[in-house]
Amino acid sequence: MKALLIRDLRLATRAGGGFGLALAFFLIVCTLVPFGVGPQGGTLALIAPGILWVGALLSCLLSLDRIFALDHEDGSLDLLATAPLPLEGVVASKALAHWLTTGLPLVLAAPVFGILLHLPGPGYVWLVLSLALGTPALSVLGAFGAAVTVGLRRGGLLLSLLVLPLYIPTLIFGAEAVRRGAAGLDPWTPLVFLAAITLAVLALVPFAAASALRVNLR
Amino acid sequence: MSIWEYANPVKFMRASGAVLPWVVGGAAICTLGGLIWGFLTPDDFKQGSTVKILFLHVPAALMAINCWMMMLVASLIWIVRRHHVSALAAKAAAPVGAVMTLIALITGAVWGQPMWGTWWEWDPRLTSFLILFLFYLGYIALWEAVEDPDSAADLTGVLCLVGSVFALLSRYAVLFWNQGLHQGASLSVASGERMSATYRYPLYLAMLGFFLLTVALILIRTRTEIRRRRLAALLARENRA
Amino acid sequence: MIDLGKYTVTVLSAYGAGILLLAGIILQTIAANARARRALEEQEKRG
C-alpha cells in the first residue's frame, strides 16, 4: 500500500503528471471572480468564503479522472485488482495520493488566495481548518466517481455530473464554517459536522468505490 | 407463491399485462378527477386562486420522492438477489421521478412568483428538490453511458445507494445552511392540519391519481425495457447462428 | 369558466406546464413501449 502510494505520488509530481494544475486553476478562479463581481472590497469580502470553497472544489474536480483512468488504460489496474492488497485499500491509497497532490496544496495556498478576495482577518484560520477537514472527503468521493466512470467514453463529463451533487454537504458545512469564522461567530458547529461527514466518507465510500471498480474490471 | 416469482420476466410480463388496464384506468380517473375537482375549489382567502396549484404540486413532489425510494429498493434487490426485472424497474422509474421533480419545481416556482414575490427562493425544501433533480440526472446519465446492461445495473445500483445517503444528508445540510442565512423564515405550504376539507379531499384524490399514474408509467416502462432486453438477446443469438 | 381573479396567468401557466410535462412523459412512455413491442414481434416472427 505504501509502495502504491509512493508510486502514485511520483507519477503525479513528474512532468506531465498534472501536479500544480489544480493550484493554477484555483488561482484563475480567484482572479476571474473579482472581474465578474466588481472590485469593491466589501462585496468580495462577503462572498470570499463561498468563492474559495467553490474554487477549491472545482480545482479538486479537475484531476479526478486521472485517479484511475491512466492505470486502467495501461492495464496496471487489472494487476492491482489481482494483487494481495484488497481493492478497498487500492482505492484508499489512490484517494490519499490525490489528496496529497491536490487537496493539500489547495489547503496551503488558500490563505494567499484569501488575500486576493479580501477575506476578513479572523476567517483565515477557519478557512485552512475547514479545507483541511473537508478536502479529504472530496478526494474520496472523487475516487468513487472515478471508479464508477472508469473506462467510459466521455467519462470526464459524467464524472462531474455524478460527483458534484455528492459534494454539496461538504461544501455547505465548509463554506458556512468560514463564513461564520469571518463574521466573528462561532464556527465549531459546522466544523464538527464537516469532520463527521469526512470521517463517514473515509470509512464507507472506499467500499462503494471498490465494488464499482470490480464491476468495471469484470 | 411468493413475490419473488415475479422476478421471472415471463411471469412479470403476464401479471403486469393483466393488472395494467386497471391501473391505467384508475390513474386516468383519479388524476383527472383530482385535478378537475381541485381546479373547481373555491379561492383561498390568503392565496387566492393560486391555491389550485397545490393539487399539481404536492402529488408530484410526493411521487418525486417515492420514485427515488422505489429505485433504492429495486437497486437493493438487484444487488442482493440479482433479479433483472428489479434492475430494469429501477431504470424505468428514474425518468418518471425526474419529470415529477421537475413538475414540483416548476409549479412551485410559478406559485412562488406572486406569493413570495420571487420565482426562486433558496428555501430548504426547494433546494433539496433541486438537488434531488441533479441526482436523477446523474443516475439517468450513468444508465445511458454504460454499454453492458449488467454493469450498468450494478454501477447505477451502487450510485443509487450512495446517492440516497447523500440526498438525505444534503436535505439536512441545506436546512442548516438556510437557517444560517435567514433565521426562522419558514415558507412552507399550508400543512395538512391547517387545511380545510374543501382542499383536503381533492388533494387526496389527486395524490391517489398521481400514485396510480406513477405505477402505471413505471410498469409500462419496465415492460418496454424487458422487451428491449429480449430483442437484444434474440439479435445476439441470431448473430451467433 | 371559473374566475381566477388576478392570478389567472399564474394558475393557468402552472397547470399548463405541469400537464404538458405529464403528457410528455406519458406519450414518450407509450411510444417507446409500442416501438419495442413492434420490434420484438418482428424479430420473433423472423426467428
Would you state the cell numbers that stand for residue B102, as one nine-digit string? Answer: 421537475
Interface A–B counts its CB contacts (< 8 A) at 78
Q: Are B221 and B92 in contact (CB under 8 A)?
A: yes
According to the model, what pLDDT value does residue B70 have? 93
Q: How far apart are CA C12 and CA C2, in angstroms?
A: 12
- Per the prediction, chain C carries an average pLDDT of 85
Interchain pair B173, A179: CB under 8 A: no
Candidates B158, B161, B166; nearest CB to A169: B166
Subunits adjacent to chain C (3 or more Cβ pairs under 8 Å): B
**pLDDT level of residue B114 (50, 70, 90 thresholds):** confident
Q: Which of the residues C1, C2, C6, C7 would you substitute to probe the B interface, choosing the one with the greatest number of B C-beta atoms within 10 Å?
A: C7
Set of chain A residues whose Cβ sits within 8 Å of the Cβ of B180: 176, 179-180, 190
According to the model, what pLDDT value does residue B99 have? 95
Would you state the cell numbers that stand for residue A191, as one nine-digit string? Answer: 466544523
Would you state the cell numbers that stand for residue B22, as one nine-digit string? Answer: 386497471
Q: How far apart are CA B183 and CA A174, in angstroms?
A: 19
Q: How far apart are CA B117 and CA B152, in angstroms?
A: 44
Interchain pair B52, C5: CB under 8 A: no
B181 pLDDT exceeds 50? Answer: no
Interchain pair B48, C44: CB under 8 A: no
Closest CA of chain B from A25, distance in Å: 25
Q: How far apart are CA A63 and CA A103, in angstroms?
A: 11
Question: Which residues between 127 and 146 in chain A have a beta carbon less than 8 angstroms from any beta carbon of chain B?
Answer: 144
Give the model confidence (pLDDT) of B48-95 as tens digits: 777 788 888 889 989 999 999 999 999 999 988 888 888 999 999 999
- Measured between CB atoms, does B152 come within 8 Å of chain A? no
Interchain pair A165, B135: CB under 8 A: yes
According to the model, what pLDDT value does residue B191 have? 45
- B48: β partners: B44
Closest CA of chain A from B146, distance in Å: 7
Q: Are A122 and A45 in contact (CB under 8 A)?
A: no
Interchain pair B111, C14: CB under 8 A: yes
| pLDDT tens track, chain A, 218 positions | 777 778 777 777 765 556 678 888 888 888 888 888 887 777 888 888 888 999 989 988 888 888 888 788 888 888 888 888 888 888 898 899 889 888 888 898 888 888 888 888 788 888 999 999 999 999 999 999 999 988 787 777 889 889 999 999 999 899 888 888 888 788 888 899 999 999 999 999 999 999 998 888 87
In C, what residues contact B, Cβ < 8 A?
Answer: 2, 4-8, 10-11, 13-15, 17-19, 21-22, 24-26, 28-30, 32-33, 36-37, 39-40, 43-44, 47
Residues of chain C by 3-state class (helix, strand, coil), percent to 5? 90, 0, 10
Would you state the cell numbers that stand for residue C17, as one nine-digit string? Answer: 406546464
Give the model confidence (pLDDT) of B119-144 as tens digits: 777 777 788 889 999 999 999 999 98
Count of other CB atoms within 10 angstroms of residue B14: 12
The pTM score is 0.88
Interchain pair B106, C14: CB under 8 A: yes
Give residue limits of the domains in chain B. 9-240
Provide the ipTM.
Answer: 0.86
Closest CA of chain B from C21, distance in Å: 7
In chain B, the residue whose alpha carbon lies closest to the alpha carbon of C16 is: B107
Give residue limits of the domains in chain C. 5-45
Task: Provide the residue type at A172 as one letter.
Answer: I
Q: Are B145 and A149 in contact (CB under 8 A)?
A: yes
- Measured between CB atoms, does A176 come within 8 Å of chain B? yes
